[in-house]
């Protein structure tokens, strides 16, 4: 109870009573990588995010902010994360990465997976903080432990990356085994992107022993959830394996997902039929 009161008291001091609307165009870091992190409010895939819709459609951002501020003061850590997300990106009111980071840490300490993810993003893109990959990895792991499955994909990407930029710690080394392990954890938890990464690596023997059966298995799971590249890989694999029916099936699946590569493959196939007639 005392901890909750201390948090409320802290938030009353750090949350401004009002915000000035406006998108800050002159921020170099904002132009370089806009839209990082996650709001807590998540809509259906492909739909407009509920928080974004709320802010876009608001006739008075000051009123919307006041309501969100009250919700945060009443202990809603999802709203606290969402406020921090807006300050991190600076689209609806002036960006304040320092304030964003402070609010995210408060939300993270209270168990917000999205806040941990956003702290990782803040440190990865260097918004108001130094870029430190070890810290990024720590925040992503915390987000994953709290149930945010997509953090596994980001950890896989992070360990698959060789950091060489001037603003990144120079001793960060690519660790393909750890990358694959994180992709595999995400794949088992149902992340479609992770399933593609695991399937691709197993099918082609990238950083792991080649396993055609397992590679096809994971690519098929990714493809049926709409990962276009997975359907493409399966089509190409079966084409060169001489399995015509499977090739045609996955080629057409890739076409239905909007794959330009598969559309060109189908056009080539039709041309060959005409030439052979």
264: left (phi over 0), alpha (psi -120 to 50) or beta: alpha
Q: Among 115-129, 166-180, 192-206, which stretch is predicted with the lowest mean pLDDT? A: 166-180
Best CA proximity match to 131, nearest among 237, 256, 250, 29: 29
How many other CB atoms are found less than 10 A from the CB of residue 200?
A: 18
pLDDT at 23 over 80: no
Confidence of residue 168 (pLDDT cuts 50, 70, 90): low
CA distance 185 to 194: 8
| Region 42-60 average pLDDT | 63
The answer to whether residues 78 and 108 touch, using CB atoms and an 8 Å cutoff, is: no
Those residues whose C-beta lies under 8 Å from the C-beta of residue 69, and which sit 6 or more positions away, are 15, 17, 83
CA distance 13 to 268: 66
Mean pLDDT of the chain: 88
User: What whole-number percentage of the chain has pLDDT above 90?
Assistant: 67
- % of the chain residues with pLDDT over 70: 86
pLDDT tens-place string over residues 67-126: 899 999 999 999 999 999 999 998 888 899 999 999 999 999 999 999 999 999 999 999
Residue 24, pLDDT score: 46
Candidates 96, 79, 95; CA nearest to 40 is 79
Least confident of 36-45, 93-102, 162-171, 203-212: 162-171
Rounded distance between C-alpha atoms, residue 117 and residue 122, angstroms: 9
Does 44 score more than 50 pLDDT?
no
Classify 94 as helix, strand or coil. coil
Cβ atoms of 237 and 226 within 8 Å: the answer is no
The total of other beta-carbon atoms located within 10 Å of residue 239's CB is 17
**Comparison of pLDDT for 21 and 1, the residue scoring more:** 21
Gap between the Cα atoms of 142 and 137, Å rounded: 9
Identify the weakest region by mean pLDDT among 44-48, 74-78, 161-165: 44-48
**pLDDT at residue 265 is higher than 90:** yes
Dihedral pair phi/psi, residue 66, rounded to 5° = -60, -40
Measured CA distances, 57 to 17, 78, 159 (Å): 21, 20, 39
Q: What are phi and psi of 179, to 5 degrees?
A: -60, -50
Domain limits, the chain: 1-41+52-117
**pLDDT on residue 170:** 67
How many residues are listed for the chain in this entry? 277
| Alpha carbon distance 123, 119 (integer Å) | 6
């Amino acid at each position: 109870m005392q901890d909750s009161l201390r948090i409320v008291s802290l938030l009353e001091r750090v949350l401004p009573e009002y915000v000035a609307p406006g998108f800050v165009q002159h921020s170099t870091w904002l132009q370089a990588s806009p839209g990082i992190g996650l709001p807590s409010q998540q809509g259906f895939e492909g739909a407009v995010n509920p928080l974004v819709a709320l802010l876009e459609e608001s006739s008075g951002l000051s009123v919307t902010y006041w309501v969100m501020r009250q919700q945060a003061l009443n202990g809603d850590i999802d709203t606290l994360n969402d406020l921090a997300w807006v300050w991190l990106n600076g689209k609806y009111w002036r960006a304040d990465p320092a304030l964003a980071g402070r609010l995210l840490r408060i939300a993270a300490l209270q168990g917000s997976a999205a806040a941990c993810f956003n702290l990782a993003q803040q440190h990865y893109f260097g918004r108001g903080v130094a870029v430190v990959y070890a810290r990024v990895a720590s925040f992503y792991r915390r987000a994953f432990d709290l149930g945010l499955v997509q953090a596994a994909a980001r950890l896989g990407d992070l360990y698959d990356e060789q950091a060489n930029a001037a603003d990144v710690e120079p001793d960060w080394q690519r660790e393909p085994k750890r990358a694959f392990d994180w992709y595999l954890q995400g794949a088992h938890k149902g992340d479609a992107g992770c399933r593609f990464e695991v399937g691709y690596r197993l099918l082609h023997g990238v950083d792991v022993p080649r396993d055609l059966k397992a590679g096809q298995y994971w690519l098929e799971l990714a493809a049926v959830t709409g990962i276009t590249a997975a359907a493409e890989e399966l089509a190409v694999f079966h084409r060169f394996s001489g399995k015509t029916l499977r090739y045609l099936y996955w080629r057409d699946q890739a076409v239905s997902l909007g794959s330009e590569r598969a559309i060109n493959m189908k056009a080539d196939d039709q041309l060959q039929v005409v030439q052979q007639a």
